[in-house]
């Protein structure tokens, strides 16, 4: 078993997966856009997720759904910084900042955030790698084909898992070269980010089935399947299920991810996921 230190918490990996609650402070995120845009709504939701069993909370100020447009640094700051200020002294679990913007990440880390979750795997802002190394915090490196604006426009793969593994190894090596410690690196195959779905090829299901190949990289593995499009496509018999009807499919994907080696589950539905994790952990013991 290995350990992962995030802020003041040290988690033993392998005993049970961690549950990361999602706090989107955006008007346009695919699952919960506009629901937590006021300080009171956001803080209350974060406190509720902690009460429901979240191990950490990931705070984001820019939607990365397919087709989403980039927001300015000022706008991203305006969305996340006031909430972080309110939360750092109210929750006892670590906070993560979901950003690829170095300025936003540095401001969040200065306020007490303890992790960076970067969907671009340190490619979106060249300054971010040095900030992560300087602050000595964990960083999650995610695979994405393209960017949110174009990632679902005809993605192609010869072998999706082998290509993701090669990408994540290269980005982890890049992080190591720039003095990010090995124990601070987390990898994420990026379900839903430039992956084929709904046309007879389900890359996301293939990735979940072959997670063991990504585990051989030797880094903690984060999975974010929660309420994503492929859940609606797989579960819908004739018409894809809307976001509101994807809970059960999300929980099934989370269970398979855990059974195949996932260390962190990034989810919208903390209470329900935590209960699934508890059962899987008990059976596994």
Which residue in this structure is represented by tokens 């300015």? 72
Q: Which residue has the tokens 């706008």?
A: 75
User: What Rg, from alpha-carbon coordinates, does the chain have?
Assistant: 17
Q: Are 214 and 164 in contact (CB under 8 A)?
A: yes
Q: Is 266 a catalytic residue?
A: yes
Q: Please give the structure tokens belonging to residue 64.
A: 């990365």
Q: Which two tokens stand for residue 280?
A: 């899987």
Query: What SS3 class is residue 151?
Result: coil
228 catalytically annotated? yes
Beta-carbon contacts of 258 under 8 Å, excluding residues fewer than 6 positions away, are 17, 265, 276, 277, 280
| First-to-final CA distance of the chain | 14
SS3 category, 172: helix
Strand pairing class (9-13; 2-6):
antiparallel
C-alpha–C-alpha distance, residues 11 and 213, integer Å:
23
**Residue 120: helix, strand or coil by DSSP?**
coil
C-alpha to C-alpha distance for 132 and 122, rounded to whole angstroms: 10
Q: Please pick, among 266, 274, 275, 285, the residue that the annotation labels catalytic.
A: 266
C-beta of residue 208 within 8 angstroms of C-beta of residue 242: no
Q: Which of 227, 228, 246, 274 is catalytic?
A: 228
- The residues that are catalytic are 228, 266
């Amino acid at each position: 078993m290995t350990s992962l230190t995030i802020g003041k918490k040290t988690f033993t990996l392998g005993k049970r997966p961690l549950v990361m609650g999602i706090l989107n402070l955006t008007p346009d995120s695919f699952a919960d856009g506009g629901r937590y845009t006021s300080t009171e709504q956001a803080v209350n939701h974060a406190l509720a997720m902690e009460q429901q069993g979240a191990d950490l909370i990931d705070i984001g100020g820019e939607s990365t759904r397919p087709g989403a447009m980039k927001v300015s640094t000022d706008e991203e700051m305006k969305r996340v910084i006031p909430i972080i200020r309110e939360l750092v002294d109210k929750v006892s679990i670590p906070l993560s900042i979901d950003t690829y913007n170095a300025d936003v990440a540095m401001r969040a880390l200065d306020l007490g955030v303890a992790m960076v979750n970067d969907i671009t795997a340190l490619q979106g802002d060249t300054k971010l790698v040095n900030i992560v190394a300087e602050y000595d915090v964990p960083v999650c490196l995610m695979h994405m084909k393209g960017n949110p604006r174009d990632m679902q426009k005809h993605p192609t793969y010869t072998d999706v898992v082998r290509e993701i593994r090669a990408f994540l190894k290269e980005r982890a090596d890049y992080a190591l070269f720039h003095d990010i410690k090995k124990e601070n690196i987390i990898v994420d195959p990026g379900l839903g980010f430039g992956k084929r779905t709904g046309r007879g090829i389900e890359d996301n299901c293939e990735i979940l089935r072959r997670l063991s190949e990504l585990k051989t990289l030797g880094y903690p593995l984060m999975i974010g399947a929660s309420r994503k499009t492929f859940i609606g496509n797989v579960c819908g018999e004739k018409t894809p299920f809307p976001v509101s009807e994807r809970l059960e499919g999300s929980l099934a994907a989370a269970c398979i991810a855990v059974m195949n080696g996932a260390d962190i589950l990034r989810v919208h539905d903390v209470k329900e996921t935590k209960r699934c994790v508890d059962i899987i952990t008990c059976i596994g013991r």
